[in-house]
Structure 1
Amino acid sequence: MKNLILTTAALALSAGMILADGHSVVRMGTEGAYPPWNFLNDDGEVAGFERELGDELCARAELTCEWVVNDWDSIIPNLVSGNYDTIIAGMSITDARDEVIDFTSNYTLPDPSSYLASSMDVDVKGGVIAAQSNTIQAAFISEMGMTLVEYPTPEETIQAVKSGEADAVLADKSFLTPFAEDDADLMFLEQEEMIGGGVGMGIRESDGELREKFNAAIASMKADGSLNALITKWEIGETF
């Protein structure tokens, strides 16, 4: 199986999905900007935990898959409109998203959301908290009545803290950990939030057959321990 990287939605439209034993190509949509979940390597190819996971799921489901890179802000609308067939992009399963698309069973447990700040004295309730737009963290900050500032990419949330535009950023701990380890001026606050229902693949509501194929593949990886091995390798969070 050869996986191709399609870097624009326009290119993605040239491929189509046909299942019921006559399937052609399943297009896997990801952000490519959220390590260690998904990112672009030096060759411009999708890499990370979800690249390895997605390739293995496609192999077990006997599907030929291509990878499509799409900005986070439009990742659900472009799934619904047919630019690709799945979302595999560190997307937490939530009731609000489930009203628009379907999800496979979760392939990770909920990852703690942590606050990364430039000082341990930050008061998250009274401060300005950065988060990526359209994430569970942004929704949580708003629901808690905190002051939220949103950015389209995860990297910009880190820069907001470093520049003083925000007092802290709230994001998945697995994403923030390398920044805390590499920059002595950034540190985790003790407070963590447990939000979301774990991460799954987003699927159009009309594609139940595809969802069940991936559900079976996810179940087989859970059963044989290979999913836990990938979670441990990429330091994503708790194992099953």
Structure 2
Amino acid sequence: MKSLFLGTAALALSAGLAMADTVRLGTEGAYPPYNFLNDAGEVDGFERELGDELCKRAGQTCEWVTNDWDSIIPNLTSGNYDAIIAGMSITAERAEVVNFTQGYTQPSPSSYAAMSADVDLKTAVIAAQASTIQSAHVAESGATLVEFPTPDETIAAVKSGEADAVLSDKDFLNPIVAETDLMLIEDIYLGGGIGMAFRKSDSELHAKFDAAIASMKEDGSLNAMLDKWEIEGKF
């Protein structure tokens, strides 16, 4: 809006370039410890700390944008933000639409959690967040899949008896299991690790962040950050 009130074309161009230099990072803000909203309503978590450091190393000014998970890729491709950093597993299907950086985690386990260890996962009703690798796995497993927009709703479904078990990232489930009656009953490995996603047309920006991730791997700071947030998948 400010450019509408500038008195000269040169100032308008300058403002436009400044805006273009700001990289908008899209995240869900509802998937701790990767990303969540703190008491001040700000994006927090492992990916907030990681994203801020990557922006410094890439020489970019960044701002954070939250978006519902089920439309997070469409809103990237339509230009509502410039990158996704949201606990997104690298898969061949998603790579047809976006370009992923190298993973900033190794493939880490997903887990089934239930109120009882006696659940038959082959015939059970399994809750999973929609449009995730976990929901795709359940759909292919022969079990009955019930999908929910948010991860918290999948937990609520198991607690209420609407679902027999939930399948989600183990890093997400660990603190919930520690504080509730849910128990972990089986681990599986899905996807190719977690990475940032970019529009296929943004190859230069993609390369800057890919190089920043590589530099954090080389100097050990990425593993230190994974340790801090108690996330599996170190390098």
Give the TM-score taking structure 2 as reference length: 0.92
Shift of 1:238: 2.6
2:39 to 24, 28, 42: 42
Between the two proteins, what is the percent identity of the paired residues?
Answer: 67
Which residue pairs with 2:184 in the alignment?
Answer: 188
Which residue pairs with 1:111 in the alignment?
Answer: 108
Are positions 1:57 and 2:54 aligned together? yes
| Aligned counterparts of 1:18 and 1:100: Cα–Cα separation in 2 | 27
Paired letter, 1:180: V
| Aligned counterparts of 2:194 and 2:122: Cα–Cα separation in 1 | 27
Check whether the contact 1:61–1:217 (CA below 8 A) recurs between aligned residues.
yes
Which residue pairs with 2:199 in the alignment?
Answer: 204
Paired letter, 2:95: D
| Aligned counterparts of 1:90 and 1:141: Cα–Cα separation in 2 | 19
Which residue pairs with 1:86 in the alignment?
Answer: 83
Shift of 1:17: 9.2
Check whether the contact 1:17–1:25 (CA below 8 A) recurs between aligned residues.
no
Per-residue deviation, residues 1-20 of structure 1 (Å, max 9, x unmatched):
xxxxxxxxxxxxxxx9969x
Shift of 1:23: 5.0
Per-residue deviation, residues 66-85 of structure 1 (Å, max 9, x unmatched):
00000001000000000000
| Aligned counterparts of 2:17 and 2:191: Cα–Cα separation in 1 | 32
1:156 to 145, 150, 153: 153
| Aligned counterparts of 1:52 and 1:201: Cα–Cα separation in 2 | 14
Per-residue deviation, residues 24-43 of structure 1 (Å, max 9, x unmatched):
10000000000000000000
Are positions 1:232 and 2:233 aligned together? no
Return structure 1 stretches of 4+ with deviation > 6 angstroms.
16-19
Shift of 1:192: 1.2
CA RMSD, Structure 1 to Structure 2 (Å): 1.5
Structure 1, unaligned runs of 5 or more: 1-15
Which residue pairs with 2:211 in the alignment?
Answer: 216
Are positions 1:24 and 2:21 aligned together? yes
| Aligned counterparts of 1:26 and 1:162: Cα–Cα separation in 2 | 40
Q: Structure 1 residues 18 and 148, CA, compared in 2 at 3 Å: closer, same or farther? A: farther
> Which runs of structure 2 are paired with 1:95-174 in the superposition (5 Å)?
95-174=92-171
Check whether the contact 1:108–1:199 (CA below 8 A) recurs between aligned residues.
yes
| Aligned counterparts of 1:200 and 1:208: Cα–Cα separation in 2 | 15
Aligned length: 221
SS at match of 1:149: strand
| Aligned counterparts of 2:35 and 2:94: Cα–Cα separation in 1 | 20
Check whether the contact 1:17–1:26 (CA below 8 A) recurs between aligned residues.
no
> Which runs of structure 2 are paired with 1:70-81 in the superposition (5 Å)?
70-81=67-78
Give the TM-score taking structure 1 as reference length: 0.90
Check whether the contact 2:123–2:142 (CA below 8 A) recurs between aligned residues.
no
Q: Structure 1 residues 87 and 131, CA, compared in 2 at 3 Å: closer, same or farther? A: same
Paired letter, 2:234: T
| Aligned counterparts of 2:233 and 2:89: Cα–Cα separation in 1 | 15
Check whether the contact 1:30–1:38 (CA below 8 A) recurs between aligned residues.
yes
Paired letter, 1:41: N
